[in-house]
Structure 1
Amino acid sequence: MKSGCVLVIFLACLCHGSLSCPAVCQCYSQKMEVVCNDIPLTEYPFESLPENTTMLTIQFTNITSISKKHLDATPLLQELHLSNNHLENLSSHLLRGVPHLNTLDLTGNKLSDLPADVFSHAPIRNLVLKNNLIKQADAEWLPDNSSLTWLDLSENHLTKIPTTLLQRLPNLKIFDLSNNRLEKISANSLDPLTKLERLNLQNNKLNTLDASVFQRINNLTSLFLSQNKLNKLPSNIFEKQTRLTYLSLDDNQLSHIPTGLFDPLKSLEDDGLDLTGNPLLCDGKIEYFWRWLQKNRRKVFSPDNIKCALPQHLAGRSVMSLTGDELNL
C-alpha cells in the first residue's frame, strides 16, 4: 500500500514537473524544452510553465515585458530565447532566480534603456541584444569579471562603447558591433579583450583607427571592418594579428595601402582579404600593395575587382593588371 502511494505521488510530481505545458506551446519532456512560437501571447506564461524547464523559446508574440517573478517559475533554466517579441523593458535583477542560465537571446525587440544589474546573478556566456533600440551600452548591466564569451550588440543605435564595459569582458571571444553608428574606437579600449577571436565592426561610421587599437588582442581570427568610412590606416595596425584568417576592408574610402600593412598576416586563408570598393590612387605609393598582390593573389577575394579610382587614365583598371611602367616604377 505504501509503495502504491509513493508511485502515485511520483507520477503526480512527474506530471506537474515535466508534462504540464502552456496550451498554446509545445513541450518536449526529453529535452525539458518549451517552445511558444508565433502565437497571440500578450504576457509571459510563467504560471503554466513546467518547473523543470531548461530550454525556453518564446518568439513572435506580443509580450512587452519580463520580470524576475516570471523567471522564478523556471529555476533550472539554461537557455532563454525571446527574439522578435515586443519587449520594451526588463526588470532589474532579472536573472536572480535562474542561476544556471547561460544563453539569453533578445533579438528583434524594442529595448532601449536597460537597468543596472539586469544581466547579473547568472553565469551568462551568450548574450544577444541584436536589432533593438539601444543608444548607450552600460557597464552596470554586467558583473565584474563577466563570464560572457559572446556578446551581440549589432543593429542598435550605439555611437560609442564605454571602456568600463569592455573591462568587464575578460572572457569574451565573439563581439558583434556591426550596423551601429560608431564613430571612434578609443585607443587601447579593446585591451581587456585578450581572448577575443572574432570582432565585427562592419557598417559603422569609423573614419580612422588608432595604431594601438588591436595591439593587445592577439587571438583574433576574423576582423570585419567593411562599410565604414576608413580613409587611412596606420602601417603597423595589424602587426600583432598573426592568427588572422579573415579581414574585410571592402567599401571604405582607402586611397593608399601603407607599406608593410599586410606583411604580418601570415595566416590569411584563400579569399581571406576583401579590399573591393575602395577608391585606390594608383600612383608610385601603390608599389607595395601591387607587389604584395602579385604574390598573394589567392589570399585576396576577387582580386580583379580591386580597381584604381585615380589617376584618370587608370580609372577602372584592376590593380592586378597594371605594369611597372604604368606605375612609373
Structure 2
Amino acid sequence: MNLWVLLTLTVLAECRYQKRGSHSCPDLCSCSGAGVVCSQSSLTHFPVDGLPSNTTRLSIQSSKLSNITASHLSLVPLLNNLQLYHNNLSSLPPDLLQHVPHLNTLDLTGNRLVHLPPTIFSCAALRSLVLKNNLIQKADAEWFPDNSSLTWLDLSGNRLAGVPAALLHKLPSLETLDLSDNNLQDLQPDALKNLPHLVTLNLNGNKLTSLKPATFTHNLKLTQLFLQQNQLRELPATVLQGLQRLELLLLDQNQLQHLPSGLLDGRKSSFSVILTGNPWVCDERMEYLWTWLTTHRQNVFFLEEVTCEAPEALILRQVVSLTSSELGLDKIKNE
C-alpha cells in the first residue's frame, strides 16, 4: 500500500477515535451537552466508563445504585448539579464532595439514608440540598460549615423528632426550609433566629402542639407558612406579629377551637389562609374569627368548609353563616 495512503488512513482513524472519545457516554445513560442522565433500573454501579470529564449536570435516578464515592465524583470535577434520587443509597462517605468544589445543587430524594457523617456538606459551596423521603432520624449541626451559602434545604419525609438550633444557625442565607412530614413535636425557641432571609417555611405533617410567641420574630421576609396537619391546640396572639409580607398561611387539620384576637390583623390584601379541618367551638370566644371571616371572605380558601364542631346545636354550621345571637354575643352585650 502506498505510504501516503497508509498515513492518511492512520490519521483519519485517530481523528475518528478522538471524536468518538470526546462524545462518549456511559452505557445505560444519555448525554446531551454537559449533561448526563442515567435512569435505567438495571443500573447497579456508578457509570465510570465513558463519563465525559466536562460533565456539569449528572442525574442518576430510579436505579439500583447503592454506592457512590469521592473517587467516582473526581471523574467530573466541573460538576455543579448532582441528582441521585430514588436509588438504593443507604450511606454516604464523609469525603463524598471533596473533588467537586463547584457543586451547588445536590438532590438525594427517595433513598435509604439513615445517618449522614459530620462535615459531609462542608467541601462544596452548596446552594440547594434536598434530602427528602429518606430515613434520617437525627440532623447534625456538624453537617455544614459556619455561614453556609445554602439557600434551599429540604428535609421533608424523614423521621426527625427535632432539628438543632445550632444547625439552622449555620444557614444565614436560607430562603426555603422544608421540614414537613417528620415527627417534630416542638421547635427550639431560637431555632429560626438566624434566618433573616427565610421566605418559605413548611412544617406541615408534624406533631407540633404549640408555638412560642417569638417563634418567627426574626423571619420578617416570610411569605409562605405551612402549619397544616399538626396538633396545634392554640396559637399565641402575637406569633405572626411583624410578618407584614405573609401571603399564605395554612392552619388546616389542627386542633384549634378558637383564634386569639388580633392574630390575622394587618395582613396585606393578597393574604390567603386555610382554616378547614379544625374543631371550631362556636361560642362567644369565636367572636374574633367570626368577625374576621365575614369581613375577609376573599382571603379565605374553602370558606364554606370552616364549620362548627360544637356546641351540638351548631354542629356543621358554617361559621360565616352564624348570627351574633347564636354565638351568644348579644347576651354578653346586654349584661
The TM-score by the shorter chain falls in which range? over 0.9
* 8 Å Cα contact 2:40/2:62 also seen in 1: yes
1:135 is matched with 137
Aligned to 1:23: 27
The secondary structure found in structure 2 opposite 1:46 is: coil
Q: How many angstroms does 1:6 deviate by?
A: 11
Q: Whole-Å Cα distance in 1 between the matches of residues 192 and 308 of structure 2?
A: 33
Q: Which residue of 2 aligns with 1:79?
A: 81
User: What amino acid is the match of 1:291?
Assistant: T
Amino acid corresponding to residue 35 of structure 1 in structure 2: V
Deviations 1:200-222 (A, max 9, x none): 00000000000110011010110
* SS of corresponding position for 1:294: helix
Answering whether residue 289 of structure 2 is matched by residue 289 of structure 1, we say: yes
Mapped partners of 2:239, 2:11: distance in 1 = 69
Query: Which of 154, 179, 182 is the matching residue for 2:181?
Result: 179
Partner Cα distance (2:241, 2:257) in 1: 20
Contact 2:165 2:190 in 1 (8 A): no
C-alpha distance 41-316 of structure 1, shift in aligned 2 (>3 A): same
Partner of 2:233: 231
**1:196 Cα deviation after fit:** 0.4
2:283 maps to a residue whose letter is D
1:47–1:73 Cα contact (<8 Å) kept? no
**How far off is 1:88 after superposition?**
0.8
**Partners in 2 of 1:110 and 1:96 — Cα distance?**
22
2:24 aligned partner, one-letter code = S
In 1, the alpha carbon distance for the partners of 2:16 and 2:122 equals: 36
TM-score normalised to structure 2 length: 0.92
Alignment check: 8 A CA contact 2:29 2:40 kept: no
The residue correspondences of 1:46-125 to structure 2 (distance < 5 A) are 46-125=48-127
Secondary structure at the residue paired with 2:129? strand
Deviation at 1:286, TM superposition (A): 1.0
**Aligned to 1:151, which of 153, 167, 176?**
153
Compute the TM-score of the two structures, normalised by the length of structure 1.
0.94
Deviation at 1:116, TM superposition (A): 1.2
Kept in 1: contact 2:180–2:205 (CA 8 A): yes
Q: Cα deviations across residues 248-275 of structure 1 (Å, max 9, x unaligned)?
A: 0000000011000100322543xx2000
Task: Determine which of 248, 251, 268 is the counterpart of 1:249.
Answer: 251
Distance 1:267 1:241, change over 3 A: farther
CA radius of gyration, larger in: 2
Letter in 2 for 1:27: C
Compute the displacement of 1:142 (Å): 1.1
Q: After TM superposition, give the deviation of residue 42 of structure 1 in Å.
A: 1.4
Runs of 4+ in 1 over 4 A off after TM superposition: 5-15
Q: Distance in 2 between matches of 1:127 and 1:43?
A: 23
Separation of aligned partners in 2, 1:256 and 1:189: 26
> Does the C-alpha gap of structure 1 residues 166 and 9 become closer, same or farther in structure 2, counting only changes over 3 Å?
farther
Counterpart position of 1:318: 318
Task: Find the aligned partners of 1:267 and 1:223 in 2 and give their Cα distance.
Answer: 17
Q: Which residue of 1 aligns with 2:170?
A: 168
Structure 1 position 241, deviation (Å): 1.1
1:65–1:235: structure 2 CA closer, same or farther, 3 Å change rule?
A: same
Q: Please give the per-residue CA displacement for 1:93-125, whole angstroms capped at 9, x wherever unaligned.
A: 211101111110000000011111111111111
Percent identity reads 48
Between the aligned partners of 1:295 and 1:304, the Cα distance in structure 2 is: 14
Match of 2:265 among 263, 266, 273: 263
Amino acid at match of 2:280: L
The letter of the residue matching 1:194 is P
What's the offset of the Cα at 1:63?
0.9
How far apart in 1 are the matches of 2:297 and 2:77?
55
Deviation per residue, 1:18-69 (Å, 9 max, x gap):
x11102111112xx11111123121111243110001111111111121111
* Alpha-carbon distance, 1:289 to partner: 1.0
Contact 1:149 1:173 in 2 (8 A): yes
Provide the rounded CA distance (Å) in 2 between the counterparts of 1:14 and 1:138.
Answer: 47
